[in-house]
């Protein structure tokens, strides 16, 4: 019997995320939605992390209001809490320049999918300057709702009450139209969620339960299937009811009952004077002192593990020391990159139509073991740049050094590029590792429709100092179409595509595929290697012939037509021809 067959309820609630820069009016809107006559928050009030409140509405409908902090150091963690199937309310304070307004529209598009966005211009201090390109914004971002809302939230119960009521009604209207509202959910799912809420709000104000207790609460609600329990935990995490990390060998044993508490704990450390004064460095003992309240007892190592999991910090080689890259000082203009290395460097540029904040932070944390450390112990890592190295064994022999930095393009006000410069005999090895990790950051960050080009420099004589950059994917596609040359738009001469790619050192997708297949062959998994090749080249006669040969050998052995010795001879021949094919395809 399915959980729905045991009983169901109609889901009648929605998640509303209030976003925008600091002091744009997010908390003011939340307060007024709760009680229009409530006093306005203090001018210096700042949300650290997120405040979450549940707002009962008519006809048993509920709004879960998420009031996010707008400070830039908090932007990176938004990717874990900005979700699809939600309603976004983007507030702008026109009393001061709001340069990050477009940032919010773009990050919602990446993380929120098709979620609707209500734009609210909050008049403050008697100043009101309507957004001039409203039509252009709606044309570019199809999820932005027309019209924009303009009001002074401090006058929501007075002169601007009509505008406030219109905004409140619009929030309710679009929240009710979310796809999940009105759908059937298992009653047991609701029972488990309510049981977790009772534990969180009880006398002890518990912030977490161990997984064994979560399983017990599920069984008390009639859920006995372990897979269903995991599904419920995953759904609670997606909706923001709790947090569970099944992929971490320490955190998988805990279900955090209040995401708000988790974020408050993390930001208490990120904003603490000890971390700021230490330029991003802190010790495990300092973290214990920052998290000194009773609710943190026994959880210090788990909270640090969360910081590591979120790639908000990394562990130094010295025991018990950590670094928050976003709290490091700016590198300024004095990049530690000598002219000699500049001349011989391989270069790759990632160019973003919109670059989410935190990409370089994640890359830095993922590759922290390769950060260059100077003789005095100082690490070559800054807020917007980092130096990675492959050190030669024993200080002698081949090595490599890479500078990775955020960069600006044209007159765009925010960083829109990540530049990778690598020099040294092992630069290809180091470059490929950095590129693989950055590509993985893109894939693992839940970004939908991330528009990014991987650019590689031309290697013709005219491009020796200031090269023209080709789109890497476009060059690979040309090779796949049988083309061997492409025109450099600086010299206007044809250049050899393979020479450009060889000079850069990044393997083509086909070469990477061949390397994966070769690893399978070395593990005596020829059939899997051939299946992998067929997915990439379904019409390649050479692959199809080898697949047919592999099946024939297997079928004849199963039917008893050939013995084990003949099978071994046939498999060795097949393996030899497959490896030759992989060499041939990898050079293409």
Final residue before a domain boundary, out of 298, 327, 356? 327
Q: Where does the pLDDT of residue 476 fall: very low under 50, low under 70, confident under 90, or very high at 90 and above?
A: confident
**Model confidence at 98: pLDDT above 90:** no
For residue 91, what is the domain's CATH number? Answer: 3.40.50.300
Largest CA distance in the chain: 93
Phi, psi of 282 (to 5 degrees): -150, 165
Distance from C-alpha of 166 to C-alpha of 162, rounded to nearest angstrom: 6
Same domain, residue pair 289 and 417:
no
Cα–Cα distance, 6 to 184 (Å, whole number): 12
Sort 43 into a burial class: Cβ within 10 Å, 0-12 / 13-18 / 19+: exposed
Structure-model confidence comparison of residues 77 and 476, the more confident one:
476
Residues 527-557 pLDDT 10s: 888 888 887 777 788 888 888 888 888 888 7
- Flag whether 500 is in a domain: no
User: Does the pLDDT at position 340 exceed 70?
Assistant: no
Residue 334 falls within a domain, yes or no? no
Cβ of 431: how many Cβ atoms within 10 Å? 25
Alpha-carbon span 80 to 238, nearest angstrom: 9
Lookup: tokens for 45: 């009030």
- How far is 570 from 552, CA to CA, in rounded Å? 10
How far is Cα 467 from Cα 463, in angstroms, rounded to an integer? Answer: 4
- If asked whether residues 514 and 421 sit together in one domain, one would say no
- 205 and 322 belong to one structural domain: yes
Pairing between strand 13-20 and 62-68?
A: parallel
pLDDT at 93: 76
The helix or strand, by DSSP H or E, that contains position 365, with its residue range, turns out to be: helix 359-366
In this prediction, residue 472 carries a pLDDT of: 92
Distances (CA, A) of 19 to 81, 108, 125, 278, 431: 12, 9, 21, 30, 37
Q: Comparing 165-169, 301-305, 459-463, 506-510, which segment has the lowest mean pLDDT?
A: 506-510
Question: Are 171 and 193 within one domain?
Answer: no
d(CA 354, CA 450): 8
pLDDT for the residue numbered 185: 85
Pair 27, 139 in one domain: yes
The whole-angstrom separation of Cα 266 and Cα 280 is 13
pLDDT tens across 270-308, in order? 889 999 999 999 999 999 999 998 888 888 888 998 888
496-537 residue pLDDT tens: 988 888 888 777 777 777 778 888 888 888 888 888 888 777
Percentage, residues of the chain above pLDDT 90: 33
The reported pLDDT for the residue numbered 76 is 62
Mean pLDDT rounded to a whole number for the chain = 85
> Which comes out higher in pLDDT, residue 487 or 518?
487
459 vs 340, residue with greater confidence: 459
Spatial distance between the Cα atoms of 143 and 14, rounded to a whole number of angstroms: 17
pLDDT digits (tens, 9 = 90+) for 227-276: 999 989 988 887 778 888 887 777 889 999 988 888 888 888 988 999 99
Say how many domains are in the chain. 4
Tell me whether residue 377 is exposed, middle or buried, using C-beta atoms within 10 angstroms of its C-beta: 0 to 12, 13 to 18, 19 or more.
exposed
φ, ψ of residue 6 to 5 degrees: the values are -75, -15
DSSP 102-143: HHHHHHHHHHHTT--EEEEEE-BTTB----TTHHHHHHH-TT
Q: Indicate if the pLDDT at residue 449 is higher than 80.
A: no
> Cα(214)–Cα(201) distance, rounded to whole angstroms?
16
Quick one: 382 and 254 in the same domain?
no
What is the domain range of residue 296? 183-327
End-to-end, the C-alpha distance of the chain in Å comes to 55
On the question of pLDDT at 388 being above 90, the answer is yes
The helix/strand count (H/E) of the chain reads as 20, 22
Are both 29 and 158 inside the same structural domain?
yes
Residues 68, 141 share a domain:
yes
Confidence of residue 363 (pLDDT cuts 50, 70, 90): very high
When pLDDT is averaged across residues 109-131 and rounded to a whole number, the result is 80
How far apart (Å, rounded) are the C-alpha atoms in residues 34 and 51? 13
pLDDT at res. 443: 83
Share of the chain above pLDDT 70, in %: 90
> Which residues, 6 or more positions from 526, have their beta carbon under 8 angstroms from its beta carbon?
520, 550, 571, 574, 575, 578
pLDDT of residue 183: 87
Q: Give the model's pLDDT for residue 48.
A: 63
d(CA 505, CA 428): 5
| 441 and 532 assigned to the same domain | no
Q: Does any domain span residue 413?
A: yes
pLDDT at 94 (0 to 100)? 59
Q: If phi over 0 gives left and psi between -120 and 50 gives alpha, with beta otherwise, what is residue 39? A: beta
- CA angle at residue 412 from 347 to 443, to 5 degrees? 55
**Residue 495 maps to a domain:** no
Query: How many angstroms separate the CA atoms of 321 and 323, rounded?
Result: 7
Q: Are residues 117 and 167 in the same domain?
A: yes
Does some domain include residue 501? Answer: no
422 within a domain of the structure (yes/no): yes
- pLDDT tens readout for residues 30-84: 999 999 999 988 776 666 667 888 899 887 899 989 887 766 556 666 666 777 8
Task: Give the position of tokens 């390109």.
Answer: 133
- Peptide bond connecting 498 to the previous residue in cis, omega within 30 degrees of 0: no
Secondary structure string (H, E, C) spanning 332-346: CCCCCCCHHHHHHCE
Mean pLDDT of 198-205: 79
* 28 occurs within a structural domain: yes
Mean pLDDT calculated for residue range 202-224: 89
**Is there a single domain that holds both residue 33 and residue 133?**
yes
Provide the pLDDT confidence category of residue 434 given band limits of 50, 70 and 90.
very high
* 509-522 vs 564-587: helix crossing angle, rounded to 10: 160
Give the pLDDT of residue 97: 47
Between 430 and 240, the more confident residue is 430
Q: Say which residue, 365 or 296, is predicted with more confidence.
A: 365
Q: How confident is the model at residue 25 (pLDDT cuts 50, 70, 90)?
A: confident
What pLDDT does 275 receive? 94
Please give the distance of CA 501 from its chain centroid, rounded to a whole number. 28
pLDDT of the residue at 177 = 93
> What pLDDT score was predicted for residue 421?
92
pLDDT of residue 74: 60
Q: Are residues 406 and 538 in the same domain?
A: no
Report the candidate in 278, 279, 274 with the shortest Cα–Cα distance to residue 289: 274
Cβ neighbours for 472, distance < 8 A, ≥ 6 positions apart: 348, 453, 454, 455, 456, 501, 504, 506
What mean pLDDT is predicted for residues 437-461? 86
Q: Average pLDDT, stretch 102-129?
A: 82
For range 138-151, the mean pLDDT: 90
CATH number of 286's domain = 1.10.10.10
Q: Is residue 418 part of a domain?
A: yes
């Amino acid at each position: 019997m399915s959980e729905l067959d045991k009983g169901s309820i109609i889901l009648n609630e929605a998640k509303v995320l209030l976003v925008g820069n600091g002091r744009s009016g997010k908390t003011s809107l939340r307060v007024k939605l709760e009680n229009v006559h409530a006093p306005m928050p203090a001018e210096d009030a700042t949300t650290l992390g997120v405040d979450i409140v549940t707002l009962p509405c008519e006809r048993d409908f509920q709004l879960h209001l998420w009031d996010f902090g707008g400070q830039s150091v908090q932007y990176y963690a938004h990717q874990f809490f900005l979700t699809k199937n939600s309603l976004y309310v983007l507030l702008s304070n026109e009393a001061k320049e709001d340069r990050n307004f477009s940032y919010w529209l773009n990050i919602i598009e990446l993380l929120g999918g098709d979620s609707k966005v209500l734009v609210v211009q909050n008049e403050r201090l008697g100043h009101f300057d309507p957004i001039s390109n409203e039509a252009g914004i709606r044309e570019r971002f199809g999820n932005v709702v027309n019209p924009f809302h303009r009001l002074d939230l401090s006058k929501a119960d007075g002169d601007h009450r009509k505008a406030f009521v219109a905004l409140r009604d619009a929030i309710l209207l679009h929240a009710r139209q979310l796809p999940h509202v009105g759908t059937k959910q298992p009653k047991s799912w609701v029972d488990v969620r309510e049981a977790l809420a009772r534990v969180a709000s009880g006398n002890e104000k518990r912030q977490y339960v161990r997984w064994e207790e979560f399983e017990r609460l599920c069984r008390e609600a009639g859920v006995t299937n372990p897979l269903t329990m995991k599904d419920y935990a995953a759904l609670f995490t997606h909706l923001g009811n709790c947090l569970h990390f099944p992929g971490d060998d320490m955190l998988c044993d805990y279900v955090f009952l209040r995401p708000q508490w988790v974020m408050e704990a993390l930001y208490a450390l990120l904003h603490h004077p000890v971390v700021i004064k230490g330029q991003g460095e802190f010790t495990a003992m300092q973290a214990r002192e920052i998290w000194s309240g009773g609710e943190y007892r026994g959880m210090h190592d788990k909270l640090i593990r969360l910081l590591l999991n979120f790639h908000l910090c990394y562990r130094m080689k010295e025991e018990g020391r950590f670094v928050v890259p976003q709290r490091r000082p700016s590198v300024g203009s004095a990049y530690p990159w000598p002219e000699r290395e500049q001349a011989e460097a391989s270069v790759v540029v990632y160019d973003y139509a919109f670059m989410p904040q935190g990409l370089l932070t994640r890359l830095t944390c993922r590759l922290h073991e390769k950060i260059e450390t100077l003789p005095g112990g100082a690490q070559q890592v800054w807020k917007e740049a980092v130096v990675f190295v492959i050190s030669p064994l024993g200080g002698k022999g081949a090595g490599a050094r890479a500078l990775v930095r955020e960069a600006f393009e044209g007159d765009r006000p925010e960083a829109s590029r990540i530049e990778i410069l690598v020099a040294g005999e092992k630069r290809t090895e180091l470059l490929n590792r950095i590129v693989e990790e950055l590509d993985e950051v893109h894939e693992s960050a839940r970004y939908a429709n991330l528009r990014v080009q991987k650019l590689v420099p031309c290697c013709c004589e005219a491009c020796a100092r200031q090269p023209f950059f080709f789109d890497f994917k476009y060059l690979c596609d040309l090779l796949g179409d049988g083309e061997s040359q492409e025109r450099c738009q600086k010299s206007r001469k044809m250049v050899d595509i393979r020479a450009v790619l060889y000079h850069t050192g990044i393997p083509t997708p086909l070469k990477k595929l061949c390397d994966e297949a070769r690893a399978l062959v070395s593990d005596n998994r020829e059939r899997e290697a051939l299946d992998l090749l067929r997915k990439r080249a379904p019409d390649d006669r050479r692959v199809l012939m080898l697949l047919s040969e592999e099946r024939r050998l297997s079928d004849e052995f199963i039917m008893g037509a050939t013995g084990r010795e003949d099978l071994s001879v046939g498999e060795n021949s097949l393996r030899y021809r497959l490896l030759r094919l992989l060499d041939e395809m990898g050079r293409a």
